[in-house]
Amino acid sequence: MEASAPGRRRRRGWRRAPAAGSPLTRAAVVLLLSAFVARATPSVGYLIRLPRSFHLTQDTVKIVGSSNFPVKVYVMLHQKSPHVLCVTPRLRNSEMIDPSFQWHGPRGKIISENSTAQVTSTGSLIFQNFEEGMSGVYTCFLEYKPTVEEIVKNLQLKYVIYAYREPHYYYQFTARYHAAPCNSIYNISFEKKLLQILSKLVLDLSCEVSLLKSECHRVKMQRAGLQNELFFTFSVSSLDTEKGPKPCTDHSCESSKRLSKAKNLIERFFNQQIEVLGRRAEPLPEIYYIEGTLQMVWINRCFPGYGMNTLKHPKCPECCVICSPGSYNPRDGTHCLQCNSSLAFGAKACV
């Protein structure tokens, strides 16, 4: 849902500064903004985790095959894979005499000495550092005897192994400010100062603020005249999105938690502007925040070449799964379903 900053009604009728463009007015705006800068508790490192919807159980650590259909396996990018067993659930609990295992992947036969994939003595397939190009269909050929007296039996098990990664989470904010005339250079100076302050607010949380759009418009007020307003749209995202997971012992360094703290700091910053302006005895500065205009939406979006598909990947519904296992081309991910989820609305826009 869109979340508006709490507070009183918009102060559309507030008094304007008597001398628009005077040095005192500009200085007042800068001092007013600078007074709100708060320091956040620093975060340490990064947290290795699975998506919220992907539950880690003993069955996901060791995955067994099926003689009836290919089994889907999800491996987080640049991480070690679960053990993919060359057995069915029934054979896993049975004795096998003189078993032999042979694995074939998208690039042919897999040997146990392979540096990226390992086949254990019991036939399990393990990837040490899973890359995008390793996604694809893997087949295990099993030969065994149920008993010493019986003849050799053959079994072929197929797995479709997908690389997946965390979505790119970020918050998108919009806010409006009473402004100087739209062609004034002071609006540009104010915009730069505002971004500097917001960036400083979230710096210790390893987050960044990016300006998405800034426009100045003349607005006709209800039962009043025209006034100039600045429309800001900016995002707050984690700096570690494109980097691989790193060890972290503190849960506060998890990306979504750091973003939540950054969101709270920004909301507090805008609320404090209302409080300070409300206590002013002198006329308002020419540029000031319009109460009640702050809105926020939480967005998660997959990177090119990855997408979310709850129908195709019900066991990993919030994972950004690679689109074409076995034929991934990082330059051509446009055919993949790209999802942009506004969780507050409970809807996903996919393009």
Q: Which CATH number goes with the domain that contains 157?
A: 2.60.40.10
Tell me which amino acid residue 196 is.
Q
Helical pair 255-279 and 185-202, crossing angle rounded to 10 deg = 130
What six digits make up the tokens of 17? 């500064």
Quote the DSSP letter at residue 304.
T
Residue type, 220: K
Q: Which of 212, 193, 195 is nearest to 285 (CA)?
A: 193
Q: Are residues 265 and 297 in the same domain?
A: yes
Give the pLDDT of residue 32.
53
Cα separation of 221 and 11, whole Å?
Answer: 12
What's the domain count of the chain?
A: 3
We report the CATH number of the domain holding residue 279 as 3.30.70.360
Cα separation, 123 vs 113, whole angstroms: 13
Cα distance between the two ends of the chain: 21
Q: Are 205 and 269 within one domain?
A: yes
Residue 230 lies in domain: 168-239+255-301
- The confidence score (pLDDT) of residue 334 equals 36
Which residue intervals of 219-324 are DSSP H helices? 255-279
Domain-embedded: residue 69 = yes
Q: Are residues 308 and 284 in the same domain?
A: no
Element (H, E) at 29: helix 23-34
CA-based nearest residue to 336, from 158, 135, 80: 135
In a domain, 39, yes or no: no
pLDDT score for 216:
95
The answer to whether 177 and 232 have CB atoms below 8 angstroms apart is yes
The residue assigned the tokens 């040095």 is: 23
Question: Is 246 among the domain residues?
Answer: no
Q: What b/e sequence results for 271-288 when a residue is b if at least 16 CB atoms lie within 10 Å of its CB, and e otherwise?
A: bbbbebbeeeeeebbbbb
The predicted pLDDT at position 221 comes to 82
Same domain? For 133 and 193 the reply is: no
Confirm whether 144 is domain-assigned.
Answer: yes
Digit-by-digit pLDDT tens for the chain (351 residues) are 444 444 444 444 444 444 444 444 554 454 455 544 443 333 322 222 344 444 444 344 899 999 899 999 999 998 999 999 999 999 999 999 999 999 999 988 887 766 788 899 899 999 989 999 999 999 999 999 999 999 999 999 999 999 998 888 899 999 999 999 999 999 999 999 999 999 999 999 999 999 999 999 999 988 778 999 999 999 999 886 444 444 344 444 577 788 999 999 999 999 999 998 888 878 888 999 999 999 999 888 888 889 988 899 988 888 899 987 754 444 443 334 444 443 333 333 333
